[in-house]
Amino acid sequence: MRRRARALSNRIRYRGLFGKPKPRIFVTHSPPFGLGDAEDHAHIGFESFVGMIDRHRPELWLHGHVHLYGSKQQRITSRGDTKVLNVFGHRILEI
């Protein structure tokens, strides 16, 4: 995943050279490491996604994969100005 994240990051920077805007929303299957992931091996997030948040500062990062059961589960986290939202099940977003 680190290689894929690096390639995408390079592509975003390259497009920026031509005046194209950076993405404001990222959508991934898995969460960034430490931001909405779980402790079990199958649900640990990717560290490379945290790097992408730090480099590109999107407004919103949407992910699924981590199932939330019960009312005490945390659905929204953040890193800097980026809101990280677990959209497991379904979510209606107004953008």
CB atoms closer than 10 angstroms to residue 3: 8
Question: Which stretches in the chain have pLDDT values below 70?
Answer: 71
pLDDT score of 25: 96
pLDDT score of 68: 79
pLDDT score of 30: 93
Cα separation of 86 and 12, whole Å?
24
Quote the pTM value.
0.87
Q: Spell out a b/e string for 63-86, using b for 16 or more CB atoms within 10 Å of the CB, else e.
A: bbbbebeeeeeeeebebeebebbb
Residue type, 21: P
pLDDT score of 64: 87
